[in-house]
Amino acid sequence: MRINRAAEQRIKAEYVLKSAFNLARVLIKNDTSPVDEPIKDAWMMFSSRNQIPVSYLDSGEANTSVEMVILSEKGRVPILSLVSNGSVSQDWSSILLNLFQALGFDNEQRTDVAARCQLKQPSFCTSYEMLANLIDYLDRDEQSYQGQNAQGIESELPLGEKFRNQEILDSPEELLLIPGFTPKRVQELLPLISIETRAKVNINAAKAPVLQAIASLDQTAPADAGIELEKCRGPDMQGPYRNLQQDINMCFQSRFPTMAQTMASKLETSGNIYRVIAKVGYGLSDISFMGTAVFETQGQGKLPKLKNMLLY
């Protein structure tokens, strides 16, 4: 009976999750504002994890909760922009390096201070070495990338082995295959990076560490630029960013005039790719089912296109 009950819940959960994705799809479709605005955009009620009201989605199962979060993929660093058409982007290299350093990867305790970054995991790799290894994994050649402060280790791969070298990743978790990208580091990076886009970052959806990494392209940027930029887009302050340079300058009261110009080239004010994460839980039991889906908008009034979906 328990096996039968579990199978029944699994089947119901699959359809409930798909219904949650359809709800998210409609909410995104009905977004008519040009920028992401928490007050006007219905989907942004799920910008942090919230339970779906029964009036929106009734699972038909007693003591069942359905939670959902909708995230703008444009609010993350487009990691695939690092290498494109055989060329390494210096700007995105700097942004990713800034992000690694801001997350404290260089401050982690290492067992042997003399040990360099190695193929064998676990191995301590600095932010510079992580960046070089990531470029090695993405670029199309099989030679070690020669960075200014570190080089990759692709040339040291055992005979017959090589990195992917196709300028793509199937999932962010594929980073675990790259030396230096430990499970702990990847877990910290997952909310801040995206493989779904090679476009600019949506300033209205980006978190403070991402905004700080971009702001740090300008050496005049303050250490709390990301936090300030996130605060300034709040409804109690200036609200969503519409004119990038003007609004960034307004946020900092024009104290860093070159920072706005530097940041604007890597930012935009809206997004068109969204990741939906949903979870179905059954009462007080530990049984739960989750799923993710990625949607890309097709223009105002049209249902977003499903790019991929995973149930687990």
User: Which residues lie closer than 8 Å to 131 by C-beta, 6 or more apart?
Assistant: 93, 96, 97, 100, 147, 150
pLDDT in tens, 231-283: 998 877 888 999 999 999 999 998 998 999 999 999 999 889 999 999 988 76
pLDDT in tens, 115-158: 667 776 666 889 999 999 999 999 999 889 998 888 888 888 88
The SS3 call for residue 75 is helix
What's the confidence (pLDDT) of residue 300? 77
User: Which residues lie closer than 8 Å to 141 by C-beta, 6 or more apart?
Assistant: 165
DSSP secondary structure code for residue 280 in this structure: E
Helix (H) or strand (E) holding 186: helix 183-189
- 161 pLDDT exceeds 70? yes
Q: What CA–CA distance (Å, rounded) separates 73 from 193?
A: 8
Please, what sign has the CA dihedral across residues 113, 114, 116, 118? negative
pLDDT in tens, 167-223: 999 999 999 999 889 899 999 999 999 999 898 999 999 999 999 999 999 999 999
What's the confidence (pLDDT) of residue 312? 82
Q: What CA–CA distance (Å, rounded) separates 102 from 178?
A: 20
* Mean pLDDT score across all residues of the chain: 88
Over residues 75-92, mean pLDDT: 94
- 113 pLDDT exceeds 60? no
Query: Which two three-digit tokens encode residue 97?
Result: 């390096």
pLDDT-derived band at 54 (thresholds 50, 70, 90) equals confident
Q: What CA–CA distance (Å, rounded) separates 133 from 153?
A: 7
